[in-house]
Structure 1
Amino acid sequence: MRILVVTTLLTDFAGAGGVESVVREQARALTAAGHSVVIVAATPGGAPADMADLDVRALPMLVDVDPRMIIPRRLADSLRLAARDVDIAHIHLCRDFVTTRATSLLARLAIPQVIQAHGMLDSPSGLLSRIFDSAATKRSINRARLALTLWEPEEQALRRLGYRGRVLRTVNSVGDLPPRDAIAPQAPTVLFASRIDRRKQPTRFVEMAQRVSALRPDVRFVMVGPSGDASQDLSAAIRALPPEIPLDYQGAVRRDDVFDLLDRASVLVLPSVREPFPMVAVEAMARGVPVVLSHDCGLAELAEQYQAADVVSPTVEKLTEAVLAILSDGRLAASLSAAGLRLVRERLSPAALGADLTAAYQSALAS
């Protein structure tokens, strides 16, 4: 099968899970399953170095700011060239000019479409989002034959926007990761790796760090992730910390740097709410890192089934209790590590993802 993939943005600094990681792993899983995949996306400096094995058609960018405001040049020409002889298009749809316009252009070319929104089409919170939905998003979603969702709230959000088509549930996967480095013993480290958005609750991680540090002053805390709508809140929270608390916010980092940080982490903490399926949690499990996971998350049910993470309410109190338990109980940490590895191996492998996507595309083409 020949598959065209369209996503908003690909960069070398997407190394904290997210849509970019999903696109990468899906493309590799489909290629391994024998399909031909072409990816079209806006890129600030050409295809990311860690996607050199994939066919990425880079769109020059007029605007390099908020991804939702990217206006790529030559989108129509690039899509026409990339869409030659393709069987189906997989659009990673967000409220932006790249993916919504792509659905319109591909509809004119009579290319069957599958959409996947990754929870990015939650109910709009502002006037501009509502205007954009009326002008573009609602039309875009109903050009698709099929929508792939990661959990029930995502399907509900699509229905509220007026999506009338079929829905299939899918999962994310993680492919072959770089070998885990042998790390010399060091201070216990608690890691946050995600975009600095309010729904990721980065300031709650800071509050948790202060409480953990009061009982375990030997523990250090590291935060990484690109700027988002909570960046100012995070800066204020970090400035308010007592100077003796060792919390280091490193900003956006490269994908390989995330793996280095995971190799040094004693536990990964994701205090997010309304989180469809966090890739960084899957990547942590694949490297044997214990995970503390919010229950308001599409991965939570599977993680609980395998006992592969400590799934908690994302309050400061519960996060603190979970982190302290893992840091103080080596058997608990080892159990979470082993269960996470088993979950990834049995349910989140590239082979399973490739088979699921193939079946989804065949279903869409048959409709």
Structure 2
Amino acid sequence: MNILNICAYTWDIGGPARIIYDHAGVAIERGHKVTILSPMSPNDRLYPAPAGVTLVPVLRTPPISRVFREYSAPLYAWLKAHIHEFDIVHCHGIWHFGSLAPFLLDQKVRKVVTIHGLLDKWAIRHHYWKKKLLSVVLQKRLLNRADLIQINNTDEEGDLLRYLGHRHPNVAIIPNGIPMAEFDVLPPKGQFRAQHGIPAEQPMILFMSRLNIKKGLDLLLPAFRDYVARHPNARLVLAGPDDGYQDTTEAFIRDHNLHDSVTLVGMITGDDKKAALADADVFVLPSYSEGFSMAVLEAMAAGTPAIVSDRVGFGEVIRETGAACLTDLTPDSVADSLERVLNNDAYQAQIRQTGQKLVRERYDIHVVADQLLAQYQRLLTRA
């Protein structure tokens, strides 16, 4: 198969770029061809592409791209010239130009759309009127024309039904995956702490995601303020790029005199990310809305006990298996969860072991990537 992925394939986009990277690597292993078409701005940093994958960056076209996400005249021109070369065009996300343009061109090539959590009620409320207008004009009509809609979980199934008003005829539930083998050997304990001046005996709480209110920072910060009042030795590490909430975060730290207890380290990747997970006593993501959180999968794969909301994309599985500590979306609940995990060694060990087992059995990238490739093949053989 010749597969085209369309997504802003940059470091700043977060999980979708990593998801495409991992799936593309398996597709190449299986003998398929993969191209990634990525709208970007001049200062964006492209995510690396797996060996054998063709990466095509195209510039966004301002000022329209400031209103209509990812609008790019070069993207449209490239698609117009090349879309007929592909068997599958896979659009990642909705509400942006790259998820609409293929439907405006070739009518024959099979088109797949992954929702990535963007029909969640919280996500819909964000920029509501812009999304409402886009829905009326184009988005619903074109989504109905997709040959396959990939969702990550049953929650997204309900979101899709509510949005369209009827069941789409071709929907596949395929979760995100992660290369479990990458976490078999982690950097030595203490490496991340030494880099950032965090003593070995200091309990380290790790938040590793974009600094965005959607990620629950408005819950975590007051929860940590209350926790550290009872446990003054605790340290909160915020690892992620600014996505609209860093000024508010820094103001909270300043107003509550938390300079010695909170460390912002910016985005971390590769071995630095693994070193942080290896040194953390607990990972926390009380998110309001996720398609299927790669950060949570990474924490579990690394054996880091996790505190998460049930909105991270596989909350029901976590509830059924006990693979992490589930918190309600309130500061008090997050603070209580910190108490429960950090002060109970047996419970820490339980969720660490259960989380790793869950990822290994259900979410290894080869397992889930083969499910997606099978869906592609089914589309091509369908009459």
Q: Same fold (TM over 0.5)?
A: yes
Q: Describe the shift of the 1:248–1:136 C-alpha distance in structure 2 as closer, same or farther (beyond 3 A).
A: farther
What is the distance in 1 between the residues matched to 2:48 and 2:111?
27
Determine if contact 1:57/1:78 at 8 Å carries over to the other structure.
no
| Residue number in structure 2 paired with 1:287 | 302
List per-residue Cα deviations over 1:241-291 (Å, max 9, x = no partner). Answer: 224651123444445543332232111111112333111000111111111
| Partner Cα distance (2:151, 2:295) in 1 | 18
Deviation at 1:122, TM superposition (A): 3.6
CA contact (8 A) 1:91 1:103 kept: no
Specify the alignment match of 2:37 in structure 1.
40
Task: Flag the 1:243–1:198 CA change in 2: closer, same or farther, 3 A.
Answer: closer
Q: Partner letter of residue 85 of structure 2?
A: D
Matches within 5 A, 1:58-137: 58-63=57-62, 69-80=69-80, 82-105=82-105, 108=106, 110-122=108-120, 124-125=124-125, 126-137=128-139
User: Does the CA-based 8 Å contact 1:194-1:200 persist in structure 2?
Assistant: yes
Q: 1:229 to 1:154 in 2, by over 3 A?
A: farther
Q: What is the letter of the counterpart of residue 365 of structure 2?
A: P
* Aligned position for 2:153: 151
Select which of 262, 270, 284 maps to 1:247.
262
Gaps of 5+ in 2: 191-199
d(CA) in 1 for partners of 2:176, 2:326: 18
CA distance in 1, matches of 2:176, 2:102: 23
Aligned to 1:142: 144
Query: Bigger relative contact order, structure 1 or 2, given CA contacts below 8 A and separation 6+?
Result: 1
1:213 is the counterpart of 2:221: no
CA contact (8 A) 1:268 1:291 kept: yes
Q: Call closer, same or farther: CA 1:168–1:226 in 2, change over 3 Å.
A: same
Matched, 1:183 2:189: yes
Report Cα offsets for 1:156-210 as digits up to 9, x if no partner. 3323332633211110101143741102235221111223333322111101111
Which of 18, 23, 28 aligns to 2:20? It is: 23
Could you say if the C-alpha distance between residues 355 and 278 of structure 1 is closer, same or farther in structure 2, counting changes exceeding 3 Å? Answer: same
How far apart, in 2, do the equivalents of 1:180 and 1:344 lie?
A: 16
Which of 158, 174, 179 is 2:178 aligned to?
174
Shift of 1:84: 4.7
Count of residue correspondences: 362
The C-alpha deviation readout for 1:200-259, integer Å capped at 9, x for no partner, is: 221111011111101221110012333445555434433332246511234444455433
Residue 85 of structure 2 aligns to a residue in which SS? coil
**Which residue of structure 1 aligns with residue 361 of structure 2?**
346
> Which portions of structure 1, spanning 4 or more consecutive aligned residues, are displaced by more than 6 angstroms?
64-67
**For 1:302, what is the secondary structure of its paired residue?**
helix
Cα distance change, pair 63–130 in 1 and its aligned pair in 2 (3 A): same
- Residues 305-320 of structure 1 correspond to what in structure 2 (within 5 A)? 305-320=320-335
Structure 2 match to 1:55? 54
Contact preservation (8 Å) 1:307, 1:336: yes
Change beyond 3 A, Cα 1:153–1:343: closer
SS at the partner of 2:89? strand
Structure 2 vs 1, CA of residues 82 and 263 (structure 1 numbering), >3 Å: closer, same or farther?
farther
Deviation at 1:80, TM superposition (A): 4.3
Q: Would you say the 8 A contact 2:187–2:271 is kept in 1?
A: no
Deviation at 1:52, TM superposition (A): 4.8
Q: Is the 8 A contact 1:146 1:167 kept in 2?
A: yes
Deviates more, 1:39-48 or 1:197-206: 39-48
Residues in 2 aligned to 1:235 and 1:6: alpha-carbon distance in whole angstroms:
35
Which whole-Å deviations, capped at 9, do the CAs of 1:103-156 have from their partners, x for residues lacking one?
323xx2521111111111345332222112222312321221111111233223
Measured against aligned partners, the alpha-carbon deviations of 1:303-359 in whole angstroms (never above 9, x if no partner) come to 233322112323222222222222222232222222221111111112211221022
Q: Which moved more, 1:67-76 or 1:274-283?
A: 67-76
Q: What SS is found at the alignment partner of 2:56?
A: strand
SS at match of 1:50: coil
CA contact (8 A) 2:40 2:70 kept: no
The 3-state SS of whatever aligns with 1:320 is: helix
Q: Percent identity?
A: 25
| Contact 1:114–1:364 (8 Å) recurs in 2 | no
Which runs of 5 or more residues in structure 1 are unaligned? Answer: none
- Computed over aligned residues only, the root mean square deviation of the Cα atoms, in angstroms, reads 2.7
Paired residue type of 1:172: N
Partner of 2:195: none
Q: Partners in 2 of 1:235 and 1:47 — Cα distance? A: 25
Are the counterparts in 2 of residues 63 and 70 from structure 1 also a CA contact under 8 Å?
Answer: no
Q: Deviations over 1:7-61 (max 9, x none)?
A: 1x122345xx522222222212322333221111123468735325232211123
> How many Å apart are 1:92 and its aligned residue?
0.8
Alpha-carbon distance in structure 1 between the residues aligned to 2:26 and 2:67: 26
